[in-house]
Chain A
Amino acid sequence: MSKKVLMKGNEAFSEAAIRGGCRYYFGYPITPQNEVPEYMSRELPKRGGYFIQAESEISAVNMAYGAGAAGGRVFITSSSPGIALMQEGFSFLCSAEVPTVILNVARGGPGIGTIQPSQADYFQATRGGGNGDYMIPVFAPSSIQEGVDLVYEAMELSDKWQNPIYILTDGILGQMMEPVVLPDQVPFVDSKDIRKHKPWAITGYGDDDSKKNVVKSLRLAAEELEKHIQSLFAKYEKAEKELVRVETIDIEDADVVIVAFGTMARIAKEAIELLAEQNIKAGLLRPISLRPFPYEAFNKISNRTKVIISAELSMGQMMQDVKLGVNNRFPIKLLNRTGGMIPTPLEIAERTKKIFEEIGG
Chain B
Amino acid sequence: MLQPVFEYTKGMNRVVTNFCPGCTHGLSHRLITETLDEMGMLGKTIGCGPIGCAVMAHKFMNVDMCECAHGRAPAVASGVKRVHPDNLVFTYQGDGDLASIGTAEIIHAAARGENITTFFVNNAIYGMTGGQMTPTTLVGQKATTAQAGRITDLAGFPMRVSELISTLDGAVYVERVALNSPGNVNKAKKAVQKAFDVQQKKLGFSFVEFVSTCPTNWGLSPIAAMDFLKEQMLPFYPLGVFKSPEGETK
A: which residues have CB within 8 A of B? 24, 26, 50, 52, 54-56, 58-60, 62-72, 74, 88-89, 92, 96, 191, 194, 202-209, 212-218
* Residues in B whose Cβ lies below 8 Å from that of A203: 46, 64, 83-84, 87
Interface-located stretch among B55-63, B129-137, B151-159, B171-179: B55-63
Query: A204, B45: Cβ atoms under 8 Å?
Result: yes
Verify A52–B66 contact, CB threshold 8 A: no
Choose among B63, B79, B107 the residue with the greatest number of A CB atoms under 10 Å from its CB. Answer: B79
Cβ of B223 under 8 Å from chain A: no
Grouping DSSP codes into helix (H, G, I), strand (E, B) and loop, the A interface class, with mixed when no group exceeds half, is mixed
> Bound state CA distance, A162 and B65, in angstroms?
18
- B83 to chain A: which residues have CB within 8 Å? 24, 66-67, 70-72, 191, 194, 203
Distance, CA A317 to CA B98, complexed state (A): 39
Q: Is B10 an interface residue (CB 8 A)?
A: yes
CA distance A191 to B42 in the complex (A): 18
- Measured between beta carbons, the chain B residues less than 8 angstroms from A69 are 66, 76, 79-80
A sample of 7 inter-chain contacts (CB < 8 A) reads A65-B76, A69-B66, A191-B85, A191-B86, A209-B10, A214-B67, A218-B55
Looking at B45, B76, B104, the one whose CB has the most chain A CB atoms below 10 A away is B76
Query: Do residues B64 and A54 form an inter-chain contact, with CB atoms below 8 A?
Result: no
Cα separation A68 to B68 with both chains bound (whole Å): 13
- Would A64 and B79 count as touching, CB distance under 8 A? yes
B42 & A52 in contact (Cβ 8 Å cutoff): no
CA distance A70 to B76 in the complex (A): 10
Known: A206-B43, A206-B44, A209-B43. A59 touches B72 (CB 8 A): yes
- A contact residues around B87 at 8 Å (CB): 203-204
B35 is an interface residue with CB less than 8 A from chain A: no
Return chain B residues, CB-CB under 8 Å to A59: 72, 75, 104-105, 108
Chain B proximity of A46: nearest CB distance (Å): 16
Given contacts A50-B82, A63-B79, contact A55 B67 (CB under 8 A): no
Q: A62-B76, A66-B76, A69-B80 are in contact. Are A202 and B44 (CB under 8 A)?
A: no
CB–CB B105/A202 < 8 A:
no
- Complex Cα distance, B219 from A188, in Å, reads 54
